[in-house]
Structure 1
Amino acid sequence: MGDAPNPVRCLDRFFATYYARRPVSATFIGVHDHDHAWPDCSEEGLGDWLGETRALHRELEGCAAPEDPDVSWDLQVASGFLETQAWELGSAHGPTGNPAFFTGEAAFGVIALLLTDFAPLADRVSSLIARLAALPAFLEQGEALLRAAPRAWTARAGRECGALLALLERGLPMARAAWPEGVIAGPDLERVEEERVRAAAAAERFRNFLRGLPDAGETAASAGADAMSLHLKRAHFLDRSLDDLAQAARDELRWAQEAVQRASSPSEPPSTTLEGPGAGTARYQEEWDAVRRTVEDLDLLTWPDFPIRYVHRPPWVREAAEDLYFLYYRAPAAMARPPVHEYLIPPVPPADSVIRLNHVIHHGGVGHHVQNWHAYRARSRVGRMAAVDCASRTALLAGGTMAEGWACYATDLMGEVGFLTPWEEYLELRGRVRMCARAVVDLRLHRGDMTLSEACDFYQSQAGMAAPAARAEAVKNSMFPGGAVMYLMGRDAIHGLRERIMAIEGKRFSLRRFHDRFLAHGSLPVALIAERMSGEALEEVLK
């Protein structure tokens, strides 16, 4: 019998396979070897992908035990990802049954090449030409694979296909008109136009195909209890049963609803009105600076030397963005982090409270942005890239309890230190209701005791969501099992870990040291991090 495979080389193969099979995700993560390509979703390609996934999983499970604990974590998380990926590729939740897989990848495969200046424009345009030329074949693979889909999934794919058409027919010509003269050679400009027209025709054909795609029924939107349990155990590394988690989510929802009822709703303060050039972006920057000062003055954590620049969305993408998974704050490329990251602000100026809570604290400030900076410096290779935003979701579900749990915890933290106004604290209580409701829907929908329509009704009646928002949220939950419960479970786990470390360390406890140590692990499951940090704290006390 031969020696067990080297764990580092096993991980090398895992990442090489991930980026080759998910080239659009690779672009967002900052690995640019595949910027010309789309996922191979031909029947043969999917078969090879599934076989490769299973073989790589066996290899990771059988490799030599690593001495480095971070490599051990990477093996565990990568192995878990391969298990959930194998399930998805073999189920109707993957490319064979979800038309939005194709529309999301298609739109963002183009957008990813133009949204940031990660390489010289000429190089990015060369990749754009290649992707546009291959787009018709990619969409044809979708037509060959898809036999039926839940009507709500097809509706979302139809909207995304409309956004893709807007991007190809109007967005790209607008982007091209803004390119500096002489940077792109004449023949390449002609190729962009030729391939753009062909790609738009292919997108129109795919939209017509979607109009005739049979309805698979609402039950097809549920992954099933076994699949949901798989995602909870092998992506989030939660050792609680599905029933236990569902009951806990219902209990927390009830508590949050009662807390909102007990709270007296304060009056919403008037928002600041700023006039003149740059006034819209200046308001965001003022709040960002205020959050940073508070965090540093109170010594809450290490604030990164990684500025945010609040800017408007580029004109060429604005129309398409309305019907896509287009984020205001999109995680920077983990493997090619820019010195300054651009935050694309909403087209309509929101209230001051929304700027502070959502666009600064949760996303652009102490929440996601600070967490990303720490993650990109982590020893764990998986922890650096897992929470990068890709076409329709983050790179690995395993990064979710850290990324989303931390962002929710960070908002709690700013309330704890007195930074939030009474109105913002009330909004956060209402937000907690929505967070708990999402966990309930995620667990019940995929356990099979709630339909997609019932999930929409639940969001409206129990979380106060408007019908369109409720529908969009329920559809997203149904496509990605385990993607909504991670907010609540991650947040609660961080609070629980902090309480344990405080109890162990007593007067030695430092909030800054706790946060920095926690964040240094990167975007890994909080359950794994909590186990290690608790053990390390006990060892230090017993020395």
Structure 2
Amino acid sequence: MSSLNTLVDRLLALHAQLRPVDASFMGLPGHDGQLPPAGPDANRQEQQALSALLDEAEAFSDPLDTPGEQLDLFLLRAWLRVAREEARVRPRQHNPSWYTGEAAFSLISLLLPGERPTDPAAVLSRLQQIPAFLEAGTAQLSGLNLPADWVERARREARALERLLLGGLPLHSAWQEEWRPAAEQAARAVQAYADALQPGDADPACGEAYLGFLMREAHALPMSPAEAETEAEAGFQALLGELEQLAAQLNPDRSWLEQLADLEAQQPALEQVRSTYQDWHQQALERGEGLLTPAADYGLSFETLPAWAQEAAGDLYFLFYRSPPALQPGSGSVYWVFPPGEDTAAYLRGQNIPFIKLVHAVHHGSIGHHTQNTRARQADSRLARLAGTDCASGIAFLGAGTLVEGWACYAEDLLLEAPGFYTPQEQLLLKQFELRNAACCLADIRLHTGRWTLEQMRAFYRDEVGFAPGRIWAETTRNSLYPASRLMYWLGTRTIRALREELRLPPTDFHDQLLSYGSAPVSWIAQDMRRRLTVQGAR
């Protein structure tokens, strides 16, 4: 084993020690019964451990022969730098929804279907640890001036976790009656934690220096926040003009917002919602051939969200599609189709066919996240196989986001090159999605550099971008908690497009090469693809 492999092993061991819930989602063995350290010395000890390993990683100077090794070293150093700075500047122990999210997903990570059956002993162990974990959270947060929206999010998650503990868990096929006392005690601890939270008036902005650090160190972006803001503003205005022009061509008597609202009438029958997901996923896989190598070799099953999760899912980071554990992926994964609530008409408006096609079948399924995650598991870089894993509050390595989300947004537009896949009206929706991503990039930067308040951000989304009103609060609050997590969509897509235009490779060659690197900053991938092409041309 090389010394680089030893460093990677030690990073994964440290990651699992500090973030055992992440380890469950990744498929790293040995941590399924644990919760993260949360005591009074947790942050100090974390910084010490991160600094010690970073010093070794920074001093590493052995020659590296392959792009996979080079990427491993880059990701290793970047993750350690970002994790240490986060622990210093914005420790997750000061985020009230970190405690509720980790507690909830410590259980959910063990209950989701997968290659491994649910381990009853691990579930019981985590149930028993939740009270002490939340008590530590109450002590950590006591006396802090917390943004009011962060507290509200944590309270909503706490109510959802209570529903999971008392109502959902007994409906799971793996339910053990011996879990009940621990689940009831955990539910009481969740209520006590939520009751103890005190909203304050702190500004959720991270500041321009920290945002610039994340853009540089996590995302490897060659620009400052100010430069990115200028580009996003120009992109937003250009896209708004294109959207208005396209809408006028389709129907000069109706605005783009009105025409997009018309798409809600294109609905499947209630009993055909799940099969509509599956059918368009399959069509997108087939139409993607010739543009890339779609992941038809790895299954994706569209299933109705199970009863045990239904009452809790809405207020948690419960994704329709979650990247399978990279180290234990099995032969396929599950995509959840949420069932209708009491308002069937509203449900079907949200499950309109254009939205199913673009968001569920293409962005998340088929050639989007589904193919990207499948190819990532075959990457030469060990860390790039794992970095895009969906965890309790986001992907495992923030820096993978420009490729993970950049690719999924790029994939939506890629099927414009498959003639007839999209209707002209659906192309209008595509353009609105791109406008939204540019807007989110702009808002991410302006919020965290202090240019906008959360309320100004919400007004922008409501009045100028066309976000669904019910989504705005959750979207903006999450962005306030996790800076540089929303700018990666538009900047990632933009980088992929520019690279394809620059390299002029055949479509399948370009896309398959891009995805072969795994989940990593797309700017790093672009630099290596240019280098490899230059070397090949010199031969």
TM norm structure 2 = 0.92
Q: Which moved more, 1:61-70 or 1:129-138?
A: 61-70
* One-letter amino acid of the structure 2 residue matched with residue 31 of structure 1: L
1:172 and 2:155 equivalent? Answer: no
Q: Which residue of 67, 78, 83 maps to 1:80?
A: 78
Say if 2:288 and 2:418, in contact at 8 Å, map to a contact too.
no
1:205 and 2:207 equivalent? Answer: no
1:156 and 2:149 equivalent? Answer: no
Q: Distance in 2 between matches of 1:158 and 1:451?
A: 22
Say if 2:151 and 2:199, in contact at 8 Å, map to a contact too.
no
Cα deviation for residue 216 of structure 1 reads: 4.0
SS of equivalent to 2:93:
coil
Q: Distance in 1 between matches of 2:205 and 2:107?
A: 30
Gaps of 5+ in 1: 503-508
* One-letter amino acid of the structure 1 residue matched with residue 452 of structure 2: M
Say if 2:23 and 2:31, in contact at 8 Å, map to a contact too.
yes
CA, structure 1 residues 275+526, in 2 after alignment: closer, same or farther (shift >3 Å)? closer
Aligned residue in 1 for 2:464: 462
* One-letter amino acid of the structure 2 residue matched with residue 494 of structure 1: I
1:140 and 2:127 equivalent? Answer: no
Cα deviation for residue 170 of structure 1 reads: 0.5
Aligned residue in 1 for 2:334: 342
Q: Distance in 2 between matches of 1:477 and 1:454?
A: 13
Q: Which residue of 44, 47, 68 maps to 1:50?
A: 47
Cα deviation for residue 352 of structure 1 reads: 0.8
RMSD: 1.7
Cα deviation for residue 274 of structure 1 reads: 4.2
Say if 2:406 and 2:488, in contact at 8 Å, map to a contact too.
yes
Question: Alpha-carbon deviations, 1:434-477, whole Å to 9, x = none?
Answer: 10111001111111211122111121122122444222211111
Aligned residue in 2 for 1:70: 68
Q: Distance in 2 between matches of 1:262 and 1:359?
A: 27
Cα deviation for residue 96 of structure 1 reads: 3.4
Q: Distance in 2 between matches of 1:65 and 1:232?
A: 27
Aligned residue in 1 for 2:246: 263
Q: Distance in 2 between matches of 1:115 and 1:460?
A: 35
Query: After superposition, where does 1:87-102 map in structure 2 within 5 Å?
Result: 87-91=85-89, 93-102=90-99
Question: Alpha-carbon deviations, 1:49-75, whole Å to 9, x = none?
Answer: 111111111111011234233222222
Say if 2:389 and 2:395, in contact at 8 Å, map to a contact too.
yes
Cα deviation for residue 500 of structure 1 reads: 1.1
* One-letter amino acid of the structure 2 residue matched with residue 139 of structure 1: L
Say if 1:95 and 1:145, in contact at 8 Å, map to a contact too.
no
SS of equivalent to 2:302:
strand
Say if 2:285 and 2:294, in contact at 8 Å, map to a contact too.
no
Aligned residue in 2 for 1:24: 21
* One-letter amino acid of the structure 1 residue matched with residue 378 of structure 2: R
1:526 and 2:522 equivalent? Answer: yes
Q: Which residue of 216, 225, 235 maps to 1:242?
A: 225
Cα deviation for residue 381 of structure 1 reads: 1.1
Aligned residue in 2 for 1:506: none
CA, structure 1 residues 449+511, in 2 after alignment: closer, same or farther (shift >3 Å)? same
Q: Distance in 2 between matches of 1:223 and 1:74?
A: 28
Moved over 3 A (4+): 265-276
Q: Distance in 2 between matches of 1:110 and 1:480?
A: 23
Cα deviation for residue 538 of structure 1 reads: 2.1
1:7 and 2:4 equivalent? Answer: yes
* One-letter amino acid of the structure 2 residue matched with residue 325 of structure 1: Y
1:480 and 2:463 equivalent? Answer: no
* One-letter amino acid of the structure 1 residue matched with residue 23 of structure 2: A
Say if 1:29 and 1:333, in contact at 8 Å, map to a contact too.
yes
Aligned residue in 2 for 1:125: 120
Aligned residue in 1 for 2:178: 191
Q: Which residue of 294, 297, 322 maps to 2:314?
A: 322
Say if 1:163 and 1:320, in contact at 8 Å, map to a contact too.
yes
Q: Distance in 2 between matches of 1:140 and 1:414?
A: 50
Query: After superposition, where does 1:423-442 map in structure 2 within 5 Å?
Result: 423-442=425-444
Question: Alpha-carbon deviations, 1:42-95, whole Å to 9, x = none?
Answer: 11222111111111111110112342332222222221222221122123x323
Q: Which moved more, 1:339-348 or 1:198-207?
A: 339-348
1:230 and 2:213 equivalent? Answer: yes
Q: Distance in 1 between matches of 2:512 and 2:114?
A: 30
CA, structure 1 residues 498+200, in 2 after alignment: closer, same or farther (shift >3 Å)? same
* One-letter amino acid of the structure 2 residue matched with residue 521 of structure 1: Y
Q: Distance in 2 between matches of 1:45 and 1:394?
A: 22
Q: Distance in 2 between matches of 1:438 and 1:22?
A: 28
Say if 2:268 and 2:353, in contact at 8 Å, map to a contact too.
no
SS of equivalent to 2:94:
coil
Q: Using the aligned pairs only, state the percent identity.
A: 33
Q: Distance in 1 between matches of 2:297 and 2:63?
A: 33
1:288 and 2:286 equivalent? Answer: no
Q: Which moved more, 1:64-73 or 1:38-47?
A: 64-73
